[in-house]
């Protein structure tokens, strides 16, 4: 197995080496403060007795699982703390493969398929490859939404080979927020094929329309919801996430989590637990508002620049399209050198947005970036 450095790495390295000031709009790392209680929780932990530095339970600190279970209104036994949403998605997809194999009962004619969206968050096809599964894609609508009929059509093409539908809402890269009807339809389509719906909701605190509805609300036994504190608490490096699994999948996910990672890092878990207990809604509202304001500023400037863009309903990203300027790596490098703005080429996210460039708005220099783009395309 070769290692392909993710495309974002190449773009960031290129931007870092540029001879000019570049506004970095590549990575999805928040640029604001974590909750105050996260810092104080970590500082307190640094003073704890030695036994607080030893193995936490494999499935996660009990207190953290209870806080999550109470907020999500699920049985605490269904909650596993993971090394970020990344591991949560891995456990969900690997668990879906286990269920598929039980169902297929070893028949070698089966060709397990994950149904993904195009554009797609690149880690999902990566994980499908790791699990020796095939990928099938359903194209998102121009506004980023998913048409349940299009999903049903692709699921039918997978037939008995469908393992799971994997979605991300609010969406990276499109900014779409799937409404309740869509999410319910996805779960129903998956169920018709004895498959799972895996909903990665890591941007759930950044819903600018109020339309977001967690797939947990469906209360269906074929739904896995994954999440993390990476974006909501501005701590992408802490690696604390969770999966909420149907009861039938909990045993397998715990086993895999234990055998791969033993447990999730305890200082990070403890700091998140303190932050979760002590942080009020105003922290999340403030950052959501900050992002909503940046979205408005940036899209206004895109309007002024005559660019096409998808109005984001949630998340951190805006996809934009400029006339006669496809979203290739080459053009993205031109933007770095000539406009001083680094974005992500649309080709990083599949085939459906080759004309587009994704901009992450987790920088205070959003307005300046938009002005630079407007000047470049003027």
Q: Which residues bind a copy of itself (CB under 8 A)?
A: 1-4, 6, 27, 29-34, 39-40, 42-43, 45-47, 50-56, 83-84, 86-87, 90, 95, 98, 123, 126-127, 129-130, 234-240, 250-252, 254-256, 258-268, 271
* 8 Å CB contact between 89 and 128: no
Which pair of tokens denotes residue 221?
Answer: 């036994």
Of the candidates 326, 298, 292, 136, the one whose C-alpha atom is nearest the C-alpha of residue 206 is 292
Cβ proximity to a copy of itself: between 195 and 249 the closer is 249
Residues 88, 241 contacting (CB under 8 angstroms): yes
Q: Tokens 């809604």 correspond to what residue?
A: 281
Beta bridge partner(s), residue 308: 321
Give the closest residue to 121 by CA, choosing from 85, 83, 170, 171: 171
Closest contact distance (angstroms) between CB of 79 and a copy of itself is 14
Q: How far is the CB of 44 from a copy of itself (least distance, A)?
A: 9
Nearest Cα neighbor of 72 from 273, 239, 277, 216 is 216
Report the C-alpha gap between 11 and 328 in whole angstroms: 11
Q: How far, in Å, CA of 295 to CA of 314, rounded?
A: 10
Question: What's the min distance (Å) between Cβ of 363 and a copy of itself?
Answer: 11
* CB 276, min distance to a copy of itself, A: 16
Provide DSSP, 242-272. Answer: EEE--HHHHHHHHHHHHHHHSS--HHHHHHH
Q: Could you tell me the smallest distance in angstroms from the CB atom of residue 225 to a copy of itself?
A: 18
Instruction: Select 82 or 310, whichever has its Cβ closest to a copy of itself.
Output: 82
Quote the least distance from Cβ 173 to a copy of itself, whole Å: 17
Q: Which helix (H) or strand (E) holds 366?
A: helix 366-377
Q: Which of 284, 184, 212, 274 is nearest to 238 (CA)?
A: 274
Query: CB neighbours of 284 closer than 8 A, spacing ≥ 6?
Result: 205, 232
Residue 286, classed as helix, strand or coil, is: helix
Nearer to a copy of itself, 55 or 324 (CB): 55
CB of 99 to a copy of itself, least distance (A): 9
Residue whose CB is less far from a copy of itself, 4 or 105: 4
Burial of 318 (0-12, 13-18, 19+ CB in 10 A): buried
Residue 159 or 364: which CB sits closer to a copy of itself? 364
* Both structure tokens of 112: 């397990």
Minimum gap (Å) between residue 171 Cβ and a copy of itself? 19
Q: How far is the CB of 186 from a copy of itself (least distance, A)?
A: 23
Residue closer to a copy of itself, measured from CB, 242 or 309: 242
**Structure tokens given for 134:** 């095939």
CB of 217 to a copy of itself, least distance (A): 27
Nearer to a copy of itself among residue 5 and residue 210 (C-beta): 5
- Cβ proximity to a copy of itself, 38 vs 352, nearer residue: 38
Closer residue to a copy of itself in complex, CB, 67/98 = 98
Q: Which is nearer to a copy of itself, 37 or 151 (CB)?
A: 37
**Cα–Cα–Cα angle for 14, 15, 21, nearest 5°?**
145
């Amino acid at each position: 197995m070769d290692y392909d450095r993710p495309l974002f790495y190449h773009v960031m390295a290129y931007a870092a080496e540029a001879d000019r000031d570049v506004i970095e709009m590549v990575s999805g790392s928040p640029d604001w403060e974590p909750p105050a209680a996260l810092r104080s929780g970590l500082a307190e932990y640094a003073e704890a007795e030695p036994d607080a530095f030893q193995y936490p339970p494999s499935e996660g600190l009990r207190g953290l699982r209870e806080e999550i279970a109470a907020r999500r209104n699920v049985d605490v036994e269904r909650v596993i703390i993971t090394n970020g949403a990344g591991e949560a998605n891995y456990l969900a997809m690997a668990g879906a493969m286990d269920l598929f194999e039980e169902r297929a009962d070893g028949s070698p004619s089966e060709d397990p398929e994950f149904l993904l969206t195009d554009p797609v968050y690149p880690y999902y096809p990566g994980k499908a490859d790791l699990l020796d599964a095939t990928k099938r894609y359903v194209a998102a609508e121009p506004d980023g939404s998913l048409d349940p009929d299009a999903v049903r059509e692709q699921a039918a093409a997978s037939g008995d080979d469908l393992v799971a539908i994997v979605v991300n809402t609010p969406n990276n890269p499109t900014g779409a927020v799937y409404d309740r009807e869509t999410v319910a339809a996805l779960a129903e389509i998956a169920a018709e094929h004895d498959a799972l719906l895996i909903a990665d909701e890591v941007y759930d605190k950044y819903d600018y329309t109020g339309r977001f509805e967690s797939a947990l609300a469906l209360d269906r036994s074929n739904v896995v919801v994954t999440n993390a504190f990476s974006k909501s608490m501005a701590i992408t490096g802490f690696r604390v996430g969770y999966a909420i699994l149907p009861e039938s999948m909990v045993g397998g996910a715990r086993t895999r989590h234990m055998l791969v990672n033993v447990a999730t890092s305890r200082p990070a878990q403890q700091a998140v637990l303190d932050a979760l207990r002590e942080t009020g809604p105003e922290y999340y509202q403030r950052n959501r508002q900050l992002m909503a304001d940046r979205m408005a500023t940036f899209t206004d400037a895109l309007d002024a620049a005559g660019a096409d863009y998808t109005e984001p309903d949630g998340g951190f990203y805006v996809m934009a399209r400029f006339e006669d300027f496809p979203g290739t790596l080459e053009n993205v490098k031109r933007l770095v050198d000539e406009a001083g703005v680094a974005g992500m080429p649309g080709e990083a996210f599949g085939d459906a947005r080759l004309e587009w460039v994704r901009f992450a708005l987790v920088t205070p220099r959003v307005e300046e970036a938009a002005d630079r783009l407007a000047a470049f395309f003027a």
